[in-house]
Amino acid sequence: MFLKAPAAMSSDVMNIAKLAQGGSSEHQIQHRLDILKKWNFLPGSKILEIGCGQGDCTLVMAYMVGDQGHVTAIDPAPLDYGAPMTLGEAQNRLKQTPIGDRMTFCQSNLQEFLDSSASAEVYDYAIFVHSIWYLPSADALQPMLAALRGRTKQLLIAEYSLDVHGDIAVLPHLLAAISQAEFNSRGNALDRNDNIQSIISPRMISALAQKAGWEFQKEDIIESHEGQEDARWEVHRVLSKEYGLRSESSGDASRQGFANSLVHAVAESTRAIGPSPNLRTLPTWLGSWV
Amino acid sequence: MFLKAPAAMSSDVMNIAKLAQGGSSEHQIQHRLDILKKWNFLPGSKILEIGCGQGDCTLVMAYMVGDQGHVTAIDPAPLDYGAPMTLGEAQNRLKQTPIGDRMTFCQSNLQEFLDSSASAEVYDYAIFVHSIWYLPSADALQPMLAALRGRTKQLLIAEYSLDVHGDIAVLPHLLAAISQAEFNSRGNALDRNDNIQSIISPRMISALAQKAGWEFQKEDIIESHEGQEDARWEVHRVLSKEYGLRSESSGDASRQGFANSLVHAVAESTRAIGPSPNLRTLPTWLGSWV
């Protein structure tokens, strides 16, 4: 007997979901496939992935580059970071899959990695997929883009757009991102464990890439598909009791008033669109440079 | 020959516009009438208006309370503040109208005014119409609401909602308000001449009123009508070159990155809805207490 997949789910998604063994939802896999297919890289490509986290995107790329390709995935976060599975556990699980030898994980920041013997001379692609907003600020991105000059043939970046694209159901996600970025832009913020540290805009990313000597090739926008969980995750985080308490213990009064109003704006926009499954994730902006 | 007024414009708007002599647009008059009619106060009422500015709302109330009513309008701003007309010039002009004797303007903050001999024992209504977001923070509102206890029979507040009410054309105004409130929540911000100093939410206002001993009566929402200029004013301000320069000279790097992204979000949301006449002003929330 065959299990019937939802109409929208491709055989690629099913194959990758099987490899991920529940480590990544089908929606997350589909979203990463949507991004990577736009970039259309060739089988056999050598890819450097910056900010791989638990390896959700690493696995999808390893699947796509085929037997002759390879993904080197770096992230500076400690291997015991993350719950319910740590970074180290998740990465190890991916290494055990039948395509595990197409992936190499390194706990390293970009500059250290590029200076090390583990780094190839030149990669076909250096990619950032939803790792830009983990950076503390645009100031952290600038030297990374500069360091990649000459070390990769192409630079590919995918990050959320700040434009809701006319869809009111996306507004809570945008406001939740603004709220998290507000908290993490505080000089004295402790406990910076949000998924969103900064909301570096596509316009800012493009300006930084140009400044670092990259030549812009093209951009794209990918709408999130229904069911993609990110909006729900971020909105629930901002509306949680812990989030409010953490914010209150870190900041002066006028800033705290501003922060409270942002949380109220998230609550209002969420209430306005009804039950939480209706929350829609921000569109993703894609840029490529040579 | 008669000039034909737009269908939506009532004789009240036309009468008040004639009194205002161009000091206030018909859209602004209509909006204030929309608010005040919800509150339905009786002819002959004695009103204390807090944060009257140039007196746009003062004039509309003076028109509505009739011969036997009176509006005492206070604002702590210097009389030479404002352009192209100063506060003092605008208030003087209103005093010269046929209903000028129904209005008294005092340059004063609330506590000083209530302590002075100019203050009546008890007013029928104390009202704040779009003056809450001029306050630096919720901390400034709390003592004002407390000071009004026993000095007015009713407390009436109208301020923008943080909920766009499903209308994407309102988003640029919301984001422009967030951007201005971000700037003005900086401890070291100089040159605080924005129309929006803080975005104190309806939920916060209600909580403060309750804390000050006020009993909540009812709330309402008024949609802005098309043509109401506030969205356009605030968005143009945030997208102006001067605004960006001012922000850059006041703040640390991580905060400045956050501020830049907010401006980019305003730009994106504005571009997305087309030419600027399509920008729509935030709905207004109305609360009343006894």
Three-state DSSP string of chain A: CCCCCCCCCCHHHHHHHHHHCCCCCHHHHHHHHHHHHHHCCCCCCEEEEECCCCCHHHHHHHHHHCCCCEEEEEECCCCCCCCCCCHHHHHHHHHCCCCHHHEEEEECCHHHHHHCCCCCCCEEEEEEECCHHHCCCHHHHHHHHHHCCCCEEEEEEEEECCCCCCCHHHHHHHHHHHHHHHHHCCCCCCCCCCCCCCCCCHHHHHHHHHHCCCCEEEEEEECCCCCCCHHHHHHHHHCCHHHHHHHHCCCCHHHHHHHHHHHHHHHHHHHHCCCHHHCCCCCEEEEEEC
| Angle between helix B202-211 and B138-147 (nearest 10) | 40
Tokens at B147, concatenated: 């000071």
Task: Pick the range with the lowest mean pLDDT from A87-96, A191-200, A255-264.
Answer: A191-200
Chosen from A201, A256, A280 to mutate, greatest number of chain B CBs within 10 A: A201
Task: Give contacts of B268 with chain A, Cβ < 8 Å.
Answer: 161-163, 201
Which is more confident, A274 or A207?
A: A207
Q: Tell me, what's the ipTM?
A: 0.89
- What is d(CA A178, CA A167) in angstroms, rounded to the nearest whole number? 17
- What is d(CA B84, CA B290) in angstroms, rounded to the nearest whole number? 38
Judge whether A203 and B273 are in contact, CB under 8 Å: no
Output the pLDDT for position A1: 39
Q: What's the rounded mean pLDDT across residues A80-85?
A: 86
Interchain CB distance below 8 Å, A264 and B201: yes
Residues forming a β-bridge with A288: A156, A218
Output the pLDDT for position A2: 44
Task: Give contacts of B163 with chain A, Cβ < 8 Å.
Answer: 265, 268-269, 271-272
Output the pLDDT for position A3: 44
- What is d(CA A204, CA B1) in angstroms, rounded to the nearest whole number? 57
Q: Which amino acid is at A72?
A: T
Distance from CA of B163 to the nearest CA of A (A): 6
Output the pLDDT for position B2: 44
Task: Give contacts of B278 with chain A, Cβ < 8 Å.
Answer: none
Residues forming a β-bridge with B72: B48, B104
SS3 B56: helix
The confidence band for A92, taking pLDDT boundaries of 50, 70 and 90, is very high
Output the pLDDT for position B229: 94
Output the pLDDT for position A6: 46
Task: Give contacts of A282 with chain B, Cβ < 8 Å.
Answer: none
The confidence band for A253, taking pLDDT boundaries of 50, 70 and 90, is confident
- What is d(CA B44, CA B62) in angstroms, rounded to the nearest whole number? 10
Judge whether A198 and A135 are in contact, CB under 8 Å: yes
Chosen from B175, B254, B282 to mutate, greatest number of chain A CBs within 10 A: B254
Interchain CB distance below 8 Å, A255 and B165: no
- What is d(CA B190, CA B183) in angstroms, rounded to the nearest whole number? 9
Judge whether A282 and A160 are in contact, CB under 8 Å: yes
DSSP structure class, residue B104: E
Residue B191 φ/ψ region, left for φ over 0, alpha for ψ in the -120 to 50 degree band, beta for the rest = left
Distance from CA of B271 to the nearest CA of A (A): 9
Residue-averaged pLDDT of chain B:
91
Interchain CB distance below 8 Å, B163 and A269: yes
Interchain CB distance below 8 Å, B253 and A137: yes
The pLDDT tens digits for B181-236 are 999 888 766 666 788 999 999 999 999 999 999 999 999 999 998 889 999 999 99
Judge whether A146 and A212 are in contact, CB under 8 Å: yes
Which is more confident, B209 or B23?
A: B209
Which is more confident, B2 or B163?
A: B163
- Pick from A137, A161, A258: CB nearest B257: A137
Output the pLDDT for position B208: 97
Interchain CB distance below 8 Å, A272 and B161: no
% residues pLDDT > 90 (chain B): 76
Residues of B with CB under 8 A from a CB of A: 136-139, 161-168, 171, 174, 178, 181-182, 184-187, 198-204, 252-255, 257-258, 260-262, 264-265, 267-269, 271-273
Residue of A nearest to B184 (CA): A254
Residue B152 φ/ψ region, left for φ over 0, alpha for ψ in the -120 to 50 degree band, beta for the rest = beta
Q: State yes or no: pLDDT of B5 exceeds 50.
A: no
- Pick from B166, B252, B257: CB nearest A187: B252
Q: What's the rounded mean pLDDT across residues B36-60?
A: 96
Chosen from A179, A254, A270 to mutate, greatest number of chain B CBs within 10 A: A254
Q: What's the rounded mean pLDDT across residues A35-62?
A: 96
Chosen from A258, A263, A270, A282 to mutate, greatest number of chain B CBs within 10 A: A258
Task: Give contacts of A186 with chain B, Cβ < 8 Å.
Answer: 254-255
Q: What is the DSSP string of B164-192?
A: -TT-GGGHHHHHHHHHHHHHHT-TT----
Q: State yes or no: pLDDT of A19 exceeds 70.
A: yes
Tokens at A255, concatenated: 């800033």
Distance from CA of B147 to the nearest CA of A (A): 21
Cβ contacts of residue A255 below 8 Å, gap of 6+?
A186, B185, B186, B187
Q: What's the rounded mean pLDDT across residues A57-74?
A: 97
Interchain CB distance below 8 Å, B162 and A264: yes
Output the pLDDT for position B245: 87
DSSP structure class, residue B58: H
Q: Chains A and B: how many Cβ contacts under 8 Å?
A: 138
Judge whether B144 and B212 are in contact, CB under 8 Å: no
- Pick from B181, B258, B264: CB nearest A185: B258
- What is d(CA B289, CA A213) in angstroms, rounded to the nearest whole number? 61
Interchain CB distance below 8 Å, B163 and A200: no
Output the pLDDT for position B189: 61
The pLDDT tens digits for B272-285 are 887 766 899 999 99
Tokens at A149, concatenated: 């000059």
SS3 B32: helix
Interchain CB distance below 8 Å, B258 and A203: no
Interchain CB distance below 8 Å, A257 and B187: no
Output the pLDDT for position A12: 94
Output the pLDDT for position B127: 98
- What is d(CA B142, CA B290) in angstroms, rounded to the nearest whole number? 16
Q: State yes or no: pLDDT of B149 exceeds 80.
A: yes
Residues of A with CB under 8 A from a CB of B: 136-139, 161-168, 171, 174, 178, 181-182, 184-187, 198-204, 252-255, 257-258, 260-262, 264-265, 267-269, 271-273
Residue-averaged pLDDT of chain A:
91
Burial call B255-282: b when 16+ CB within 10 Å, e when fewer? bbbbbbbbbbbbbbbbeebeeeeebbbb
Interchain CB distance below 8 Å, A265 and B162: yes
Q: What's the rounded mean pLDDT across residues A140-166?
A: 96
- What is d(CA B263, CA B266) in angstroms, rounded to the nearest whole number? 5
Task: Give contacts of A271 with chain B, Cβ < 8 Å.
Answer: 163
